[in-house]
Amino acid sequence: MKKICSLIGILAFIFLQLNAQKANTKVVETIQPFPYQHAQEVDAAVVAMNAWGKSDWKALYKMLDDDSLKLKATYALNVFVNRASLSADQKLAAKQNLTKGLKQVKTEYAKRFVQAQLNLLTDQTEVNQYLSSLPKTDTRPPADPLLNTSLNAAQQLLLAQDLLESKVNPLTIKQFLNRVSRIPGITSFMLASKYLDDPIVSKDAALVTARLALTDETVQGPAVRSALEKALPLIKGEDSAVLAKGVTKLLKKMPYDYGYNNLFNGNDLSGWKALVGNPILRAKMGDSALKVEQAKANGKTKGDWIVKDGLLIFTGNGDNLATDKQYADFEMFVDWKITAQGDAGIYLRGSPQVQIWDTSRREVGAQVGSGGLYNNQKYQSKPLVVADNKIGTWNNFHIIMKGEKVTVYLNGILVTDNVTLENYWDRKIPIFPKEQIELQAHGTYVAYRNIYLRELPSTDPVAISEDEKKLGFVSLFDGTNLDQWTGNTTGYIVKNGVVEVNPDAGGGGNLYTKEEFSDFVYRFEFQLTPGANNGIGIRAPLEGDAAYVGMEIQVLDSEHPMYKDLHEYQYHGSVYGVIPAKRGFLLPTGEWNKEEIAIQGNKIKVTLNGTVIVDGDIKEASKNGTIDHKEHPGLLRTSGHIGFLGHGDVVRFKNMRVKKSEEIRDKSEEGKKKKH
């Protein structure tokens, strides 16, 4: 009888072992995709986990106690909990499961981790209790922290926003805004600008934004222009004499396209889209196919990223969120916040990633801190130092990407120093020259705010297209220097890859090509500022008023109200004083216009944004005298310089190229001879 009982016991033990081994194999196969880059890779795994039995879960919890197995188990359980939190029924079942699991695990790591997951499914009080039990890594003084000069600017601004968003009285807000005014940069400017709509402190906010913009030339761009236009009418009294005048002048010359944009408006997901594949896969799709896939992705992931209380929040379910626009070189500021066990990141040019994670997660190497280029293999992947703030509080990234190199400041501290970002999708090739920015979805809650980005101009010379080369065009400006130009080279400067008229340095003068041209086609792009006035001189000498001793093609914001009484021959595109141009084809002020001036003998044609606005004969137009009734001896010239004719206003020019018509005629004659 004893032998029979022993045999039964042995068989039962073998059965349990085989069952445990089977469960272990099943669990290992299920959690194989972890850790992951995209949510779709683990959808099947989460479905399988929902169908697990007791032995399967027991096997998973046992893996959490095993150093060699706990990485995948940690990621899998974390994603499972985040998905379960979205459904009341699944949330309750997961909570019961974790309660049992907490009794099964043995190691301190496993206990802390399971407890953390359980807290994520309980009420906020319990979550706060758990967070408060974590080691304190933030040593900010509790009283009047903005007076602590040991804190860097980034930390001060994070604190300032926390304090300003708390329920403080208007006097305290004014005090904090005054302190913010002493911290230069776009982040302090944008923080102050948020109070321009507050009727009690709006005037104080207007003064702060004005001072910050006037003392820091990097504070510019569409986001800045919008704030300053709102601030200007609020600047009253003794401050208006200097500040209002300075802001008015700044707005007049500020570029419309260069500078900072606000990538997140705090209200909705404008400017963002769901993720479709990866850069290599997207490049293989046609436009129509990509459009279809984008619509599918947008519908599938709706609700995964939400806007709540002015924050951009990932709920823990879904895939990456991507910018509509692609970027080459850029400088970016962004605030982020995670909860316990959090894991996220920021993809640069569609590639992973500047890492964000909970530094207590030693099992995945998170103790090195956030801000490293996590997926690098050849180049540095870990941050230089740990600079993360306490879990549950805000952090700030300042990311600079130029070419293949990435620099990252975390909370004002350098953590990644000009490191090459490797191409995760194909390590045999460099990182893509231009692609979207993505906020990574990694199965855990993460919130973002204050996302400001400015595109950086390329320092590489700009070449004309192959098609234009074949037509005989040559470049007059490659975006880097004025070597082919002469005249007022101090009043015209190269800035952000364009030629900019600089009124502060004598921008009222003329700039001419060193070479002279007779018959030619001249193409260029220009950007006007409000009420701006300039001109294109053609067949002009280097001395005298080019509008008369040569010819001037008007470059003018002629639709501005200040020009309502112009003569017809003064509107944009006109041959000044000789041939009037058609109106209504300038783009809105601040946008880049494209223009072509073609002259051959006495025939002249001006094309603006694809529409011919002048098509005339200068000899015919002046045979009975010019319409401005003035002498224009330059109409008799057959050659001369091409020039910019400044009148003291900021105008920008780029992509200047020219072809000599006589060269084209010679080529045409050669072609005819060959045919015969």
For residue 448, give the CATH number of its domain.
Answer: 2.60.120.560
Under the banding of pLDDT at 50, 70 and 90, the label for residue 147 is: low
Claim to verify: residue 424 and residue 521 sit in the same structural domain: no
What CA dihedral angle connects 584, 586, 591 and 593, to 10 degrees?
A: 150
Claim to verify: residue 616 and residue 593 sit in the same structural domain: yes
Of residues 398 and 27, the one with the higher pLDDT is 398
Under the banding of pLDDT at 50, 70 and 90, the label for residue 12 is: very low
- Which of these three, 424, 455, 486, is where a domain ends? 455
What global pTM score does this model have?
0.77
Under the banding of pLDDT at 50, 70 and 90, the label for residue 37 is: low
- Which of these three, 394, 424, 455, is where a domain ends? 455
Q: Is residue 205 part of a domain?
A: yes
Under the banding of pLDDT at 50, 70 and 90, the label for residue 141 is: very low
Residue corresponding to tokens 């940069």: 185
Claim to verify: residue 413 and residue 312 sit in the same structural domain: yes
Q: Is residue 3 part of a domain?
A: no
- How far the first Cα of the chain sits from its last, in Å, is 116
Claim to verify: residue 170 and residue 287 sit in the same structural domain: no
Claim to verify: residue 440 and residue 486 sit in the same structural domain: no
Q: Is residue 337 part of a domain?
A: yes
Q: Is residue 428 part of a domain?
A: yes
Model confidence at 24: pLDDT above 90:
no
Model confidence at 542: pLDDT above 70:
yes
Out of 111-115, 148-152, 522-526, pick the least confident: 148-152
> What is the per-residue burial (b if ≥16 Cβ within 10 Å, else e) of 175-203?
bbbebbbebebbbbbbbbbbbbeeeebeb
List the Cα angle 270/316/289 in 5-degree steps.
50
Claim to verify: residue 542 and residue 650 sit in the same structural domain: yes
Q: What is the DSSP letter of 373?
A: B
Residues contacting 290, CB < 8 A, separation 6+: 276, 282
Claim to verify: residue 117 and residue 24 sit in the same structural domain: yes
Claim to verify: residue 299 and residue 382 sit in the same structural domain: yes
| Beta-bridge mates of residue 322 | 273, 438
- Which of these three, 261, 282, 309, is where a domain ends? 261
Claim to verify: residue 290 and residue 241 sit in the same structural domain: no
Q: What range defines the domain where residue 545 resides?
A: 466-666
Q: Is residue 141 part of a domain?
A: no
Q: Is residue 460 part of a domain?
A: no
Residue 445 and residue 316: Cα distance in Å, rounded? 5
Token readout for 114 is 């399971």
Model confidence at 138: pLDDT above 70:
no
Claim to verify: residue 339 and residue 227 sit in the same structural domain: no
| Beta-bridge mates of residue 305 | 302, 314
Claim to verify: residue 433 and residue 474 sit in the same structural domain: no
Model confidence at 475: pLDDT above 80:
yes
Token readout for 314 is 């990932």
What domain count does the chain have?
4
Model confidence at 656: pLDDT above 70:
yes
Mean pLDDT of the chain: 87
Q: Is residue 142 part of a domain?
A: no
Q: What is the mean pLDDT of residues 292-313?
A: 92
Q: Is residue 553 part of a domain?
A: yes
Residues contacting 291, CB < 8 A, separation 6+: none
Of residues 179 and 467, the one with the higher pLDDT is 467
Claim to verify: residue 157 and residue 122 sit in the same structural domain: no
